[in-house]
Amino acid sequence: MSIDYDYKINGHAESSGSEILNAIFKNSLPSSLLDFGCGPGTWLKAAKEMGVSDLLGIDGTDAIKFANPNLIQFFYHADITKPVNLKRKFDVALCLEVAEHVDEYFASHLIEILTAHADVIYFSAACPDQPGQHHVNCQWPSYWQNLFNQKGFDCYDELRWQIWDNTQIEPWYRQNIFMARKADKIAGKEKRIKAAIHPELYKIMSWESNVAIISECDRLSQDHYKLNQDHSKLNQDHSKLNQDHSKLNQDHSKLNQDYCKLNQDIKYTNNLLYCISTQLDKSNAKIQDLKSKLIKLKGKNVDLSNRIDKIKKSWWWRFSRIFSKS
């Protein structure tokens, strides 16, 4: 999983690492240390300077680009949302201001990796509304305490009260840090770690909140201006639509008039066609009558021709007799 985090603009004071590690290891120094989410190696550097030689830093970002060349040998790149098995344990593990950058879906998975690699873990994570880049799972310490309890670890926050007033340490560490240790039989029976806001972090959060409010007001003002422009454009479009609607009504009225005229023309044409059809029927009847009369006349003409032929024959015969006697 890719985490959007820019180390160029999110630097951390080296004094935080040295001051906190001195408070943790003031009585005894661990022989090995794992820094989970080590970034460019600020805490690895502090541990190395204290004399811890067996070091390993795990990070899933491109933090190694910003690391001290002398520390690169201690780096191990791994996607912390996937299984991580180093096949060993460390005396102490650190996971400081890292968990808030990982989606809540992977929160239990992150604690499982930590508890698999050390029996003593120093942990801190951003509280709700704590400003920062890619803060996607900001929770109060008790949320993480419950997850550690499920893995058989109990949790205590004495360290944060010891360093609460140490101005050499950045306020988010002073506010959020606590220790988790392997304790199967009593895990979950300890007191719940209380939510607390450090005054110095509260100032930052208040300032960030004010900046956020101002930015939101600016954004809303721009949105309001844009909405006014859109509203003005909508009014213009509405006016144009009204004009188009008026024109459509006029066109519709004209079409209705044309339709009415067309209906009248159709009625007139139908009547005319009916009259013509009636007249044709009468003409056809007359033609049939004339044809019948013509046939009769033809018959009479044939009869008359036959009679004339008989008369001609009769007279021819008579004239023949007369001329023969002469």
Return per-residue pLDDT of the chain as tens, 326 residues: 556 666 655 666 789 999 999 999 999 999 999 999 998 999 999 999 999 999 999 988 877 788 888 888 999 988 888 999 999 999 999 999 999 999 999 999 999 999 999 999 999 999 999 998 889 999 999 999 999 999 999 999 999 999 999 999 999 999 999 999 999 999 999 999 999 999 999 988 876 554 454 455 456 657 767 887 888 788 888 888 888 888 888 889 888 888 988 888 888 988 888 888 888 888 888 888 888 888 888 888 888 888 888 888 887 777 777 777 66
pLDDT of residue 272: 86
Q: 302: which 2 tokens?
A: 């044939």
Q: Rounded CA gap, 230 and 181, in Å?
A: 60
Q: 114: which 2 tokens?
A: 């930590």
DSSP 3-state of 52: coil
Cα distances (Å, whole numbers) of residue 195 to 148, 158, 170: 17, 13, 18
Q: Residue 275 falls within a domain, yes or no?
A: no
Q: Residue 220 falls within a domain, yes or no?
A: no
DSSP 3-state of 57: strand
Residue 50 belongs to domain with CATH number = 3.40.50.150
Q: Residue 187 falls within a domain, yes or no?
A: yes
Q: Residue 291 falls within a domain, yes or no?
A: no
Query: Torsion over CA of 132, 40, 56 and 87, rounded to 10 degrees?
Result: 60
- Backbone torsion region of residue 297, taken as left when φ is above 0, otherwise alpha when ψ lies between -120 and 50, otherwise beta: alpha
Q: Residue 166 falls within a domain, yes or no?
A: yes
> Residue 108 gets which letter from DSSP?
H
How many domains are contained in the chain? 1
Q: Residue 102 falls within a domain, yes or no?
A: yes
Q: Residue 270 falls within a domain, yes or no?
A: no
Cα distances (Å, whole numbers) of residue 53 to 49, 265, 284: 9, 109, 128
pLDDT of residue 8: 59
Q: Which range marks the domain in which residue 123 is found? A: 14-195
Could you tell me which residues are beta bridge partners of residue 258?
Answer: none
Q: Residue 315 falls within a domain, yes or no?
A: no
Total-model pTM: 0.64
Helix extents (H) in the chain: 14-24, 42-50, 107-117, 141-150, 158-162, 171-176, 199-325
pLDDT of residue 115: 98
